[in-house]
Amino acid sequence: MIRRLTRWLLALQGLAVAGVAWALLQLAHLQSPALALALGVGLVVAIRLSITASGFYLAWRYRSETPAPYRINRRMAARLFCTEFSASMISASWSMPFFRVGKRPAAQPEGLPVLLIHGYGCNSGYWRSMSRRLSAANITHHGIDLEPPLAGIDSYVPAIARAVDTLARDSHCRQVILVVHSMGGLISRAYLREHGCDRLAAVITLGTPHHGTALARGGIGINSQQMCCSADNTPSAWLQQLAGSETTQTRGLFTTIYSHHDNIVSPQCSAHLEGATNLAVAGIGHVALGMDSGIQERVIARIRQVVASRPVRQNRSSA
């Protein structure tokens, strides 16, 4: 569904460019077709820029205090905006409409296999860049497309359970590692609440609103309401119930990687999870987290660290 939707949006943007160019040529009597086309493209890009800018504004409005070591200057802020806009354009206009990350077995697999879980309004295409890095590191991985996009978070758990079991069986491993973005981290926690820790060696979350995000208050869908927080940063009832169901063992499985300049998760400290290994970064936006080369290196390093520290969980199964 997301794949079709993003293609329709691209088609509408193409029609908008053509319509603006036609109006400039026929009604404004512009003499240059190339200039008319460029102005049409410019208008669409300006609208996309405004969407990204509005996200940053809202994230700034509801922001948490940025610790001194993570504060950035204006040049870094400009780079933050540009890289997040670029990541959003690539993801929404290229990766998600035209690519699917399915089963990606490594020829000579190293360590445990990885299941990639996308976030709200996305599909497995979001992981295209991460998938290439995992393949280069000889890490077997599977992606998954979660539908319908506006359903409750708990409704995705059966699909995750099937994907985990399939990946473990195909890889002849007892356990797998989850690498998740945004809402995918909440889906992982919901999976653990229902199925326990037996199948998972670790969960690595990128920009997950573990305690909710104020920006979700303006979203649509059951899942959006479940991952929101109130004006005083109180997590939703669903998030509170989820947190109340977790144990020290469950939280110990998690590594959170999050940015103090996230433009979707706000307050940004919401991505910090008590009892987990928390790794904060600065100057990276929400969409860019899964596409940034430095973050990808951290993810791969953490996967290898988990494998090295838990040799007992690498036992091959007879299945």
State residue 207 phi and psi, 5-degree precision. 60, 45
- Give the percent of the chain with pLDDT over 90: 91
- Topology at the third CATH level for domain 103-314: Rossmann fold (3.40.50)
pTM: 0.92
Give the model's pLDDT for residue 281: 98
**28: confidence class by pLDDT, cuts 50, 70, 90:** confident
Please give the Cα distance from 107 to 130 (Å, whole number): 17
- Using alpha carbons, select from 253, 228, 251, 250 the residue that is nearest to residue 238: 228
**218: confidence class by pLDDT, cuts 50, 70, 90:** confident
Contact 299, 257 (CB under 8 A): yes
Task: Locate the domains of the chain by residue range.
Answer: 1-61, 103-314
Instruction: Inform me whether the pLDDT recorded for 313 exceeds 60.
Output: no
Give the model's pLDDT for residue 26: 87
136-177 pLDDT, tens digit per residue, is 999 999 999 999 999 999 999 999 999 999 999 999 999 999
Give the model's pLDDT for residue 319: 33
Query: Tell me, what amino acid is at 9?
Result: L
**80: confidence class by pLDDT, cuts 50, 70, 90:** very high
What order of strands is seen across the sheet that includes strand 277-281?
A: 103-104, 141-144, 114-117, 176-181, 200-206, 254-259, 277-281
First to last CA, the chain: 34
